Structure 1
């Protein structure tokens, strides 16, 4: 149990006291909210407007009348576009005319975009008591890092009455944000296929006063923050960093950045802008004239640490804290995360034990983590990390890709040709086989391209090209294996039918001879079945029909001249 009062499962059975229903004085429900202080309710800005009266009901406390509330201009952040054209804001704080008891509020919790299921509380039409809906976090949207929520079941589609409602992370039981907006899904009726959450740190970037009611570790060490423009921007380095924060290229970026100078300022600028909480209207405006390709998205990292003097264990503890991993913070637990960890670690060569830290980082990289590793000096540990985390695994992936191409073209493709020459697929599998054949032709072209790929296309920053090739080759390999399996099953069936025909013929001939003139009829059926089975490519369905007629005749259950050729 946590400070929020409930874990998600418990919450579904008992409505917490912090859940608010926001409405008009005449009783119309506008949305939901979260009681953060005795006299403050956090909600979405599109639910309320400054200067108008509202009434807030706390449905988890039966028998309590609604409380009058208003919102001030300086605590209302309407949705708008930032300097880069992305939608931001849509947050507001309601002030209650009468405070609630001290034990009723909850607290927000900083958590690197939660990686598992969540629950949100809202008030769909006709349900003034409200309900929990389950959801899964899908992805951040825009530079304001609005996190997309997908309902767990069709019956849990979001509705406008959920706007402003609290979102509870199942793993920790903490309130990690609020439902920011509910987008009407095309053709989905009054519900919505998706809704969007504003994480706690995004709330704090727009309403810093909410920090008084927030727990959880901040993502960025003070040494890696920059307050405003004024330094000299290293544009190529800034572009490289922004690309990494967008999730592009090779997942591990190893770079050397002295403690001072243009590269150091460029690094802190990128880390600051990539953090949900530190990215504010002021600094986005200050950097608004910078080239767009140098500006990373908010939410581009889960944490940014200056690891100078830190042990590997201390680093793992900080990572676990940011991800909400409680108890034993073993690196193996990161494998269960839906979204890979993205971490910036500065001063790796100045850690208490750089070799031990690199060992931990190697484990995290193998778990799929995205790592930006900053060293202070060239050579030594920096060169070791570049080879271990980037160059060697990148070469191995290109080699494996080439091996998979060879397997498709030298093994699976010829096997498909050989099987298709001998047997036809059944109608249901014909499309699969055609697609598999087309994949072989495309793979032949891809191998020619890969064999002549310029070195610049194999650089870590261009690794998305490699990933695209790997995905395509994987799909083609699986399709070929399925198609070969389908045709192999048809070949086995053909062999079984041949066995039935040849085994049945001697007995059938004896029975037909005993009836005088039926030998020729039996022979015609026998020859017809054998002809179809020996045809290449064999139509197994047609041959099976002929075999059944022959076997039926032999057993005396078929009419005399059925199936004669």
Structure 2
């Protein structure tokens, strides 16, 4: 299927030393794996031959193909590290123990991160296709949670030919930018009856590392990145508020009518509400196991089956079990970050958000300043104890910035009379006057974009090739007019539209500023060349008139190029260098009257 687009491993410039090929002792290829530590390999359970017993007992062969010259090693499923595919398609992970330890420096950099839509990833599998048995790279982007109860993450293949296939199960899904391992390939979907342009719907799926840790806690010591959920566990037998649990489940599902920002109060001593919140977050988290066990969780495994299922939750193969879930249970993966912010600064909170986005802050402000440049924050965040933060009002204002970039926030307060709660409530459900004020601020921002566009036109015209300037202001003005006439203006349903438009305006400004930045870089280089030209002309001025006249045409040619608009930088740079070379030749020999 489209093998001409595939990239064999030996043609790739970056080698992932943790890549493992798994086969039978007889040489039949089974799938892929990931080296964890020195003596373990993570893979999908369905990759390993199994007769239905407590766990597989047969040996397989693991080859560390990312390290040249490394011999193959025998391996078996480690004790209590076998989670076969459950009746509802969850699970399907296994950890193999190698007969001979490997160099731990080759182990995979497993990392917790929110599976944000649009993140570029890649993976290497071992299809049985002739010529590709040594591995082939596929590219994809993260689409979002999918699969059984949201345990999987759907991937959009970069091309239809790069849909995963047999031989990819168990392969590492690696962040294209950081080279960290974010998950493991688990399945594919290839629907020939789709209305897609080529008649097929091509999808791939991965299990995020956090979900793997949920099933195999043993690998937790090898995973970097802080846990998404740091709220306290639910005490055994703690009372629960069922109505509150049902409301929380709806909010985590982003059900119709729920808001991007919600501010609630759980007073000290309200044990049932506090336990209900912690339980809901644990159920929504990928890694933490809630108490009691997940409703509807079937722990009866099934025998292996071919791995080309239909859409998760239904099925072209007729083997996926669907069941009604408790309406107090949110989908797995529906919370990205949950923490107690009591005593925390805005900078530390921003650092936690940046960590979940996979960003590297590196700044003394904890990364707060970076969020002015970030176009999207596709996270669902629970912040508890907001009114006990180091600066509650500033923290609430920062959450408003996150919401404007797409974040959904559940802000939990303890004091119903706190000033920060009042501010959060206004943000969550502002008055008509406040909405009008926000629209006026957006209008002012659009006018600022229009002014910056004029600056961009002026600066871009100075350097060739003249690049097009983003034309944002005109369209945004029209959109703003439509927004002011929206029939839902003043209702709760209007707020997501306003937040999305505010985010679009900020993104438009960022694109214009990027255009100005590129133009300014060209202008700075032009000015640098002008200074270099005049410096060499000053050197020539001390020579004889004859020598000055000889180099004059070169000077004029460079000068004309540097002072015309638009300036062809590459051509001007060559002209300046020609003049500089001529000046060096004149200044490194005796003056005309002193020659013998």
Provide the TM-score with structure 2 as the length reference.
0.61
Matched, 1:226 2:234: yes
Structure 2 stretches lacking a partner, 5+ long: 1-8, 51-55, 299-322, 440-485, 502-596
Distance 1:151 1:282 in 2: 37
Change (3 A) 1:100 1:185: farther
Specify which of 148, 154, 157 is matched with residue 148 of structure 1.
Answer: 154
Q: Which residue pairs with 2:142 in the alignment?
A: 137
1:332 shift after superposition: 5.1
Q: Is the 8 A contact 1:17 1:104 kept in 2?
A: yes
Q: Which residue pairs with 2:169 in the alignment?
A: 163
Specify which of 181, 193, 198 is matched with residue 202 of structure 2.
Answer: 193
Change (3 A) 1:337 1:270: farther
Distance 1:98 1:46 in 2: 23
Q: Which residue pairs with 1:308 in the alignment?
A: 342
Q: Which residue pairs with 1:341 in the alignment?
A: 379
Equivalent positions of 1:257-296 (< 5 A) are: 257-260=266-269, 261-279=271-289, 283-285=293-295, 292-296=326-330
Q: Which residue pairs with 2:430 in the alignment?
A: 391
Q: Which residue pairs with 2:98 in the alignment?
A: 96
Tell which deviates more after alignment, 338-347 or 354-363. 338-347
- Name the SS of the counterpart of 2:77 in structure 1: strand
Query: Structure 1, residues 113-161: CA drift from partner, whole Å, max 9, x if none?
Result: 2441111111122212112211111110132520001111233221111
Specify which of 123, 128, 131 is matched with residue 126 of structure 2.
Answer: 123
Equivalent positions of 1:414-433 (< 5 A) are: none
Distance 1:164 1:394 in 2: 55
Distance 2:355 2:325 in 1: 34
- Name the SS of the counterpart of 1:283 in structure 2: coil
Q: Is the 8 A contact 2:235 2:275 kept in 1?
A: no
Q: Which has the larger radius of gyration?
A: 1
Q: Is the 8 A contact 2:285 2:333 kept in 1?
A: yes
1:393 shift after superposition: 7.8
- Name the SS of the counterpart of 2:134 in structure 1: coil
- Name the SS of the counterpart of 2:415 in structure 1: coil
Matched, 1:362 2:396: no
Specify which of 256, 279, 289 is matched with residue 265 of structure 2.
Answer: 256
- Name the SS of the counterpart of 2:106 in structure 1: coil
Q: Which residue pairs with 1:111 in the alignment?
A: 113
Q: Which residue pairs with 2:80 in the alignment?
A: 74
1:296 shift after superposition: 0.8
Q: Which residue pairs with 2:26 in the alignment?
A: 26
1:10 shift after superposition: 12
Distance 2:433 2:402 in 1: 16
Query: Structure 1, residues 473-504: CA drift from partner, whole Å, max 9, x if none?
Result: xxxxxxxxxxxxxxxxxxxxxxxxxxxxxxxx
Change (3 A) 1:131 1:290: closer
- Name the SS of the counterpart of 1:56 in structure 2: strand
Change (3 A) 1:70 1:227: farther
Q: Is the 8 A contact 2:239 2:272 kept in 1?
A: yes
Specify which of 247, 250, 254 is matched with residue 247 of structure 1.
Answer: 254
Distance 1:287 1:24 in 2: 32
- Name the SS of the counterpart of 1:35 in structure 2: strand
Structure 1 stretches lacking a partner, 5+ long: 1-8, 401-446, 472-565
1:64 shift after superposition: 2.6
Q: Which residue pairs with 2:320 in the alignment?
A: none
1:234 shift after superposition: 1.2
Tell which deviates more after alignment, 346-355 or 246-255. 246-255
Change (3 A) 1:296 1:105: same
Query: Structure 1, residues 26-72: CA drift from partner, whole Å, max 9, x if none?
Result: 21111111000221000011101311221111111223332111114
- Name the SS of the counterpart of 2:430 in structure 1: helix
Query: Structure 1, residues 283-311: CA drift from partner, whole Å, max 9, x if none?
Result: 31599999721111111111111011111
Equivalent positions of 1:496-511 (< 5 A) are: none
Distance 1:243 1:323 in 2: 24
Provide the TM-score with structure 1 as the length reference.
0.64
Query: Structure 1, residues 350-381: CA drift from partner, whole Å, max 9, x if none?
Result: 11111111221121111121100001011332
Distance 2:100 2:201 in 1: 35
Change (3 A) 1:393 1:13: farther
Change (3 A) 1:282 1:108: farther
Distance 1:394 1:252 in 2: 19
Q: Is the 8 A contact 1:23 1:30 kept in 2?
A: yes
Distance 2:278 2:10 in 1: 42
1:73 shift after superposition: 5.8
Matched, 1:87 2:97: no
RMSD: 3.6
Aligned length, in residue pairs: 403
1:102 shift after superposition: 2.5
Distance 1:330 1:154 in 2: 39
Distance 1:11 1:384 in 2: 56
Q: Is the 8 A contact 1:158 1:192 kept in 2?
A: no
Q: Is the 8 A contact 1:250 1:464 kept in 2?
A: no
Matched, 1:298 2:332: yes
Distance 1:382 1:281 in 2: 30
- Name the SS of the counterpart of 2:123 in structure 1: strand
1:246 shift after superposition: 1.0
Question: Which protein is richer in helix relative to its size?
Answer: 1
Tell which deviates more after alignment, 126-135 or 335-344. 335-344
